Structure 1
Amino acid sequence: MEHPFRIADNVRTGTPIMLIKISYRDMEGFGEASMPPRYGEDLNTAKVFLDQLDLSQFHSVSPIDPILSYIDHIQPGNPAIKAALDIALHDLWGKITKRSVHELYGLSNEILQTAKTISIEAPEIMAARVTEAKDFRYLKIKLGTAEDRAIIQAIRKVTDQPLYIDANQGWKNKEEAARLIDWLSTQACLFIEQPMPKNDFDAMEWLKNRSSLPIIGDEGIQRIKDIDNAGLFYHGVNIKLMKSTGIREAFTMLTTAKKKGLHTMIGCMSETSCAIAAGAQLGSLAEFIDLDGNLGVTNDPFIAFPCVQGEIRVDNSPGLGLKKPTWDTVEPYIENS
């Protein structure tokens, strides 16, 4: 990463990534597993999972649902490597049919206004990073520190851009959180993402009903089952492919959330342009876009949809819309066609 990435409970300078390729006849589909340490997956767990995989039983990429069901039931958990397989299969399916992934799902290729994430640093450093991101319409500010008010005050000295606030479970007292949200509502903040620990259900339910800004669930929203009761604790949900096991379930989660009247957001981990392109294919289903995880990567092996002044322009290229990867930037780990 170009800069250390610091949130309420950890900091890192890189992220373990596994890129995969699935071959079918003369075509190739590419996928990605991004595995931040806090979620429990790594290169070894991904390899163990892939060693159990046998796609030879399937003779075509379509229909895709039986293949993804088989993958999901190999063993519980492992959403990131499952997402990599899902993404690669969708890329392949699109290339075979000469259709983009969003066209496969009957979606449009809208211009997406992504937020730019500013991770936690000293207030003056965060203000400087905000100035560097002046071309973005929205900024996502990481909070969850003793200096949260000072951070926002420093940022408001240099910009009036609307802010997404992400506490990453960093606030522990619901009354204090409610008072801080009241103040943030006067600072052109649009919503609060995961303010309380995801398992503190009583506090989250109380805060959801008390909050003067919408509450968006992130760590507390992993897969489709979590949408059932999401409305008790959140006004909206942040769907990420690395949590949902990929495009197919993310599509179902977004459409289900919309039917339930929840705000919808599509987000990302620290990812290459491969997974960001996959997320962007579902962008028209989301009210809020946070697909900047490739912008601070120094060794991105893919080129997909450029982000210009905060705008991601998704085209109708077959599959994910990736350009040829530059594999010389990637450390080989496993090849399993």
Structure 2
Amino acid sequence: MNKTDNWFSKDFGRFKLRYRPYTLELRHVFTVASFSRSTTPVVLIELEYDGIIGYGEASMPPYLGESQESVIHFLNLIDLSIFSSPFDTEDILQYIDQLALKNTAAKAAVDIALHDILGKIMNQPYYKIWGLNPILIPPTSYTIGIDTEEIIRQKVAEADQFKILKVKLGLDTDKMIINTIRQTTDRPLCADINQGWRCKEEALEMAHWLAERNVVFLEQPMPKEQVDDNAWLTEHSPIPTIADEACQRLVDVPALKDVYTGINIKLMKCTGMQEAKKMAEVARALDMKVMIGCMTETSCAISAAAQLSPLVDWADLDGALLIGNDVYDGMKVIEGSCILPDRPGIGILKL
């Protein structure tokens, strides 16, 4: 392993791997039910095969349990010299997955870069390789974190182009936040509770109150461990419930049927694009709703997730819009709609 400036590098012959830590600066302090932060640590990677470079990213918000150090440690375990072609996709990603438990963001970075290479070799955007129609992409929501009335009004004004807003709830300020937003706009809202509610009866009361105020679904209303309570709420709620913290990887999906109405898929939780697509397909087979979400990420990981967006009911792909120091040009949001670039792979360019 070599280190040049801020980049680490490994040479496997036809494959080469480069990676570096980077810190995303948020435009506003981001507050959810359990924590606040103003930055997000990421690791940016470049995977090269015969001169073709694929870009990837690992984003590590606090609750994932990963760090820049753990991601770099994981990437140091990789030896791609045993593979001769990026088209050995299943074998490569299976090898990556078995290197260590968890480390899902680190694994996602490699998965994204590998898909970027494959798309560039085939000279097609990945959504076209998958046969997906971009006309079907739902509008993306824009996230309003927990804050004061004044800042909430400011954030809503900044989100004027978006057709739907995502509101962080889960504290004793929930009704204040919704009422403040409703003084400004009647646009549809989705409520992300981040496991903040504890009592199923109070959760159901809030579900009815929110439904009357044009909230279209509840994301992770109660702690994931309260399986029976979440199932009871889903059965009685006037609006859908979506599993987020309760839904990490493909193996989790079957058990979530009847506990939640749908699932939120995030590349950083599920190891990347390949498993994300499988999760969407399994959820559909179980007659569940599907949402594609994100962490605070650059346009690299956001553009990768967006390749899957024609498959879903709801999109929450605003992560790159929440930061002030993106290093890529990729998916655009115009009047609240996700516009996929007509470029091969995941469709990004380095700035």
What is the distance in 2 between the residues matched to 1:125 and 1:3? 9
What is the distance in 2 between the residues matched to 1:310 and 1:4? 22
Match in the other structure for 1:53: 78
- Secondary structure class of the residue paired with 2:69: helix
Paired residues of 1:192 and 1:215 also in contact (CA < 8 A): yes
Which of 284, 300, 306 in structure 1 is aligned with 2:332?
306
- Secondary structure class of the residue paired with 1:16: strand
Cα offsets for 1:220-275 (capped at 9, x unmatched): 00000111111131001100000010000000001111111111100000000000
Paired residues of 1:135 and 1:309 also in contact (CA < 8 A): yes
Which of 207, 222, 227 in structure 2 is aligned with 1:181?
207
What is the distance in 2 between the residues matched to 1:200 and 1:137? 32
Q: How far off is 1:316 after superposition?
A: 3.3
Match in the other structure for 2:231: 205
| Structure with the bigger percentage of strand | 2
What is the distance in 2 between the residues matched to 1:306 and 1:91? 18
Cα offsets for 1:21-53 (capped at 9, x unmatched): 011112100000000111100011111111110
What residue identity is the alignment partner of 1:235?
T
Q: How far off is 1:129 after superposition?
A: 1.1
Which of 306, 318, 330 in structure 2 is aligned with 1:280?
306
What residue identity is the alignment partner of 1:64?
T
Cα offsets for 1:101-131 (capped at 9, x unmatched): 1122222223541101000001332133112
What is the distance in 1 between the residues matched to 2:105 and 2:39? 16
**Runs of 5+ in structure 1 lacking a partner?**
327-337
Which of 47, 53, 74 in structure 2 is aligned with 1:28?
53
Identity percentage over the alignment? 44
What residue identity is the alignment partner of 2:71?
A
What residue identity is the alignment partner of 2:112?
I
What residue identity is the alignment partner of 2:131?
G
Cα offsets for 1:144-189 (capped at 9, x unmatched): 1101111111111110000011000000111111101111110011
Which of 85, 102, 115 in structure 2 is aligned with 1:77?
102
Q: How high is the TM-score relative to the length of structure 2?
A: 0.91
Match in the other structure for 1:263: 289
- Secondary structure class of the residue paired with 2:257: helix
What is the distance in 1 between the residues matched to 2:186 and 2:157? 11
Within a 5 Å distance, the mapping from 1:70-109 to structure 2 comes to: 70-109=95-134
Matched, 1:133 2:156: no
Match in the other structure for 2:20: none
What is the distance in 1 between the residues matched to 2:177 and 2:339? 31
- Secondary structure class of the residue paired with 1:177: helix
Paired residues of 1:131 and 1:159 also in contact (CA < 8 A): no
- Which range moved further: 189-198 or 55-64? 55-64
Paired residues of 2:330 and 2:341 also in contact (CA < 8 A): no
Match in the other structure for 1:250: 276
Aligned-residue Cα RMSD (Å) equals 1.0
What residue identity is the alignment partner of 2:167?
I
Match in the other structure for 1:222: 248
Q: How far off is 1:63 after superposition?
A: 3.0
What is the distance in 1 between the residues matched to 2:205 and 2:69? 44
Paired residues of 1:109 and 1:315 also in contact (CA < 8 A): no
Cα offsets for 1:254-301 (capped at 9, x unmatched): 111111111110000000000000000000011101000000211100
Match in the other structure for 1:335: none
What is the distance in 2 between the residues matched to 1:171 and 1:178? 10
Paired residues of 1:112 and 1:313 also in contact (CA < 8 A): no
Within a 5 Å distance, the mapping from 1:115-130 to structure 2 comes to: 115-130=141-156
What residue identity is the alignment partner of 2:268?
M
What is the distance in 1 between the residues matched to 2:267 and 2:129? 17
Match in the other structure for 1:330: none
- Which range moved further: 103-112 or 147-156? 103-112
- Secondary structure class of the residue paired with 2:302: helix
Match in the other structure for 1:19: 44
Q: How far off is 1:313 after superposition?
A: 1.0
What is the distance in 1 between the residues matched to 2:322 and 2:267? 19
Which of 165, 185, 194 in structure 2 is aligned with 1:159?
185
- Secondary structure class of the residue paired with 1:50: helix
Matched, 1:233 2:259: yes
- Secondary structure class of the residue paired with 2:73: helix
Give the total of aligned pairs.
325
